[in-house]
Amino acid sequence: MAEQKTYTQAGFDALQKELDYLVTVKAEENKKEISTARAYGDLSENSEYDEAKQEQAKIHARIEELQEMIANAKVVDESQIDESVISVGSIVVVESDKLGKKTYHIVGSYETDPKNGKISDASPIGLALIGAREGDTVIANVAKGSVSLKVVSVTRYNA
């Protein structure tokens, strides 16, 4: 059985949107590409056909991957969350001597985007912050040692 992963509602919706796009648009476009390439003749020396078939394999592999991710997803129920405790979906402002003042949005691993402040709940900083509250100080074991983070504020993302 595949590992269950936690997602925000937005992250889960993004998975479903990508799956829908691949099934309804990309797979259909690919079928047409294969059909067009077949019309070029001898398939043994037809690079367009080979490329289209390779693309088909990639599309179907990603569809299967997304279906498994969705089947094993755990979506955070915002109504059941103590908003003062850091969890998936929290927006956290921290201060550190090493990093200065930073804002992080704690998300599921599929949703990470460090350049935009979205860090995984399974990342070193995310792991250290999960369960903390405003005013707490946590230690995160990062690649360059450890860093002390003081939690300045905890809020929730409201789409």
Which tokens go with 99?
């990093």
pTM of the model: 0.67
Domain co-membership, 54 together with 117: no
Closest CA to 156 of 82, 101, 95: 82
Domain co-membership, 97 together with 108: yes
pLDDT digits (tens, 9 = 90+) for 92-139: 999 998 888 999 999 887 788 989 989 998 899 999 999 999 999 999
Domain co-membership, 86 together with 147: yes
Domain co-membership, 112 together with 66: no
Looking at residue 158, its pLDDT comes to: 59
Domain boundary among 75, 91, 121: 75
Domain co-membership, 70 together with 9: yes
Number of domains in the chain: 2
Provide the 3-class DSSP secondary structure of residue 139: strand
Domain co-membership, 61 together with 98: no
Domain co-membership, 102 together with 152: yes
Domain co-membership, 71 together with 110: no
Going 23 to 24 to 26 to 29, the CA torsion angle's sign is: positive
Whole-angstrom distance, CA of residue 78 vs CA of residue 120: 17
Residue 51 reports pLDDT greater than 70: yes
Domain that holds residue 132: 78-156
Q: Residue 61 belongs to a domain with what CATH number? A: 1.10.287.180
Q: Residue 121 belongs to a domain with what CATH number? A: 3.10.50.30
